[in-house]
Amino acid sequence: MDKLDVFIRNLKKIFRSKGIITPLTASYEITPFCNLMCKHCYNRYKSTNHLDIELSYKKQIVSTLKQLGVLEVVLCGGEPFIDKDILNVIEHAKSLDLRLIILTNGLLITEEIIVYLKKILDKYDIIQFSIDDIIDDEESTQRNLTLEEKLIVLNNLKKLISIDINVIVNIVPTILNQHYIIKLGKKLIELGVKNIGATPYVPMGGKNADLIKPDYKLLADIHKYLDVYAKSKGINYSGGIEGHVCQSYVEYRKNNSLQQQNKRRVCDAAEFNIHVSYNGNLYPCVFMEKDEFLIGSISDPLEKIKIEMKKMNEKIKVELPSVCLSCELLPLCGGGCPGLIFDRYGTLQEVDPRCRRKNNATSDNC
């Protein structure tokens, strides 16, 4: 966590205490298309009639985010480097002094792109590589990569590290890769990766998505091991392998004095975060890209966007179920992911489907 991360985190605390709702971070789906079909990805269930968007409109999206007060933009997709205008959009964002986090699978990064990224990005910007499979053999259970494709990703990762671009490798643990996450982590550290993190698997798309959920008892042990191992090597491991707090078997430091403060769900979506789809539609986050949660358009007047964002925040922050209100982990959990809850149940009034405590605190049905 760098100085900008700390600044944004502290700003959120201050604004939340004062009831201020304003976007500080944004994700921008520059393209819905991807060159892979990963088994764990929430976007694999998404259908779209993609239109060719003009560069001028893409720049307008970024400019409007800046005018709204956004400090950090996550460029996502799909795969951002599929988009023909990606470098122009990056250049425009940097001209506005926005912090960029670019999410990529690493396959489409060319020498030209690497030279350009070195020139335009600063020390606060991040290239996040998504790597879930063993790098140096033919097994690829989660991303279905060939060995040749793995080598391309590996070489691009090495090149970016060698020229001191800020790179983070992100892992999504599932049942498909859980048994070699430690091996993967060690290999990444050998390659010179300084920052490793993980995003807990979000089972979007219905109950069938649960078929690849990992063993969270096993992941708790893997998390503890990698945390110690990374520290011994001077590597920053930011956590996440253990899963979301509602499903994790890691022991958390609890603060019961805070428990009664959260009567409603706490989530950055439509409070401090906003998501822009490729066509300029605004949503609370990537997991709520549904008609029911449409905030408006990036072309709307700024004041209207902020008003509609506040209305959406009130819609999302429903009163929590009793099982959540009585949970000692509520101050850390916040009541779960509203996007996932709605995706699974068609309502916001349910408990996060990942929660293993919802059935008398004994169920392992994360």
For 196-227, the pLDDT digits (tens) are 999 999 999 999 999 999 999 999 999 999 99
Residue 177 pLDDT greater than 60, yes or no: yes
Alpha helices in 102-198 (DSSP H): 111-120, 147-162, 181-190
Sequence ranges of the domains in the chain: 3-318
Q: Please state, for a pLDDT cut of 90, what percent of the chain lies above it.
A: 79
The CATH number, out of the four listed (3.40.1500.10, 3.40.50.300, 3.20.20.140, 3.20.20.70), of the domain defined by the range 3-318: 3.20.20.70
Here the tokens at position 357 are 């405590």
pTM for this predicted structure: 0.92
Provide the β-strand partners of residue 158.
none
**CB contact at 8 A, 180 and 135:** no
Residue 366 pLDDT greater than 80, yes or no: no
Query: How many Å apart are CA 79 and CA 102, to the nearest integer?
Result: 10
* pLDDT computed for residue 134 by the predictor: 73
Q: What is the pLDDT of residues 223-272, one digit of tens each?
A: 999 999 999 999 999 999 999 999 999 988 765 544 445 689 999 999 99
Question: For the CA atoms of the chain, what is the radius of gyration?
Answer: 20
